[in-house]
Amino acid sequence: MGDRVQTPSQTVGPFFHFGLEYDGSAQVVPGHYPGAIRLHGTVFDGGQAPVPDALLEIWQTDAAGLVSRERGSLLRNEFAFTGFGRAATNLGGEYAFTTVRPGTGFVTVAVFARGLSHHLFTRAYFDDGTGGGASDSLLASLPPSRRSTLLAMPDGDRSFRFDVRLQGDGETVFLEYS
Amino acid sequence: MATQQVITEEIRRIETDAAARVQGGQSPEVHPRRDYPPYRSSALRHPTQNLVKVDPEEVERYSPAFGHWDVSPLESDLTIAHRGEPLGERITVTGRVVDGDGRPVRGQLIELWQANSAGRYVHKRDQHPAPLDPNFTGVGRVITGEDGSYRFRTIKPGPYPWKNHTNAWRPAHVHFSLFGSQFTQRLVTQMYFPGDPLFALDPIYQSIVDPAARARLIGTYDHDTSVPDVSLGYRWDIVLTGPRSTWLEPEHADG
Ligand SMILES: [Fe+2]
């Protein structure tokens, strides 16, 4: 076991946009990429109000389930799939990514916000396994009411909705890596 | 809005309680509490259910890759982004990013953003009526070196008021965003400057309830990093331990 002690987290605060957003940060792939989908949703607080100053990051494999080691997550080009995206919520608490369905069946999501002292990890799954698709031990371990918070639901042509509820009714399952 | 006195009393109460738990044998808390009432906007923004423990999947044991061509070397110098010199005290902030075993985090992205010397952000939602500096934006990026090292040139940010309670002021700080070698090591935090009189009053800093943990966010004045006739130097090292599985030798790692 390591002997260095973790540096503590602090909130991303309200003024991160000019420091962390960059051109194309929410486009993991361009919209015309084969198999491109929209992954979008709203971030809600414990009062069911949208959170207008949250930041979401996604990290995922490509459609074949391979982890990208491609550099260039900041300087996007049309051809390199890097697997990383970053999107701030708008005044309505909404975010949107353009990406592909990962071969592993899930996208890892990190949620940052003003008022949140330490980011939260979750996963957006594209398949709950009940249709014979890929299942997952995490999903299987959760009661159905909580499991549903991890499902990205189709809501249109090549579009999936994944809302994040930080607290209260329908609170999203957040993860602690062991 | 609460007075500073009310907030300070809440801070002290929580710290006393946390210290008693450590006395009673609990390990000190490494990170801030997400549920920390003195930081008022945390009230509706922290989960109330327990986090669900999972083993990282393969993809989560990797991190996004950033290349030296993602970031221009000029982006680590926040004082040269404009034609003129920014106002304020020029500083160098340098250090190393390492994992829990002290191994360097190589070739990874660090992003930084901050207020100007008057305590004002370029951000359009910043309402603090302190002057903007036409020669300072306050955004920087760097890719860590082979030894995990980084170096930024900037100006010392000013403290600024905020609306948590009456007469609330943030200690001077620089926001940092870090990637480790695994996505589970992702960290966003703030670096502070030694001796700030606002530390005891600030509910964001104090949301880290263990005093030794809080102190890890304070840069150290380092005279060897100061540049004669130019700037003062601060050292700040960052540790990204990540989950238990990153501490194990490969032959013991489960998958
Ligand atoms: Fe700040």
Ligand 1: distance of its center to the CA of B171 in Å?
A: 9
d(CA B79, CA A33): 39
Residue of A nearest to B240 (CA): A6
Half-sphere exposure of A120 (CA within 13 A, CB side): 29
Contacts of B59 in chain A (CB under 8 A): 59-61, 67, 83, 102, 104, 108
Rounded to whole angstroms, the Cα distance separating B108 from A6 reads: 17
| pLDDT, position B252 | 40
Domains along chain A with CATH numbers: 36-165 (2.60.130.10)
**CB pair distance less than 8 Å for B48 and A46:** yes
Min Cα distance B110 → chain A (Å) is 10
Over residues A142-169, the pLDDT tens digits come to 999 999 999 999 999 999 999 999 999 9
Q: For residue B173, report the distance from its CA to the centre of ligand 1, in Å.
A: 6
pTM for this entry: 0.95
Contact B154, B140 (CB under 8 A): yes
Which pLDDT tens digits describe chain B residue by residue (255 residues)? Answer: 999 999 999 999 999 999 999 999 999 999 999 999 999 999 999 999 999 999 999 999 999 988 777 888 899 999 999 999 999 999 999 999 999 999 999 999 999 999 999 999 998 788 888 999 999 999 999 999 999 999 999 999 999 999 999 999 999 999 999 999 999 999 999 999 999 999 999 999 999 999 999 999 999 999 999 999 999 999 999 999 977 644 444 444 333
- List residues bridging with A43 in a β-sheet: A164
Cβ pair B64:A83 closer than 8 A: yes
Does residue A5 belong to the interface with chain B, where contact is any CB pair within 8 Å? yes
pLDDT of residue B249: 41
Residue B248: the pLDDT is: 44
Within the 155-194 window of chain B, which residues sit less than 8 Å (CB to CB) from chain A? 173, 175, 177, 183-184, 186-190
**For residue A76, what is the DSSP state?**
-
Could you state, in order of their start, the residue ranges of all structural domains in chain B? 4-44+65-239
Beta-bridge partner residues of A126: none
Ion ligand 1: protein residues whose beta carbon lies under 5 Å: A 13
CATH T-level assignment (fold) for domain B4-44+65-239: Protocatechuate 3,4-Dioxygenase, subunit A (2.60.130)
How far, in Å, CA of A170 to CA of B229, rounded?
A: 58
Is A70 in CB contact (< 8 Å) with chain B? yes
- Subunit contact B183:A17, Cβ cutoff 8 A: no
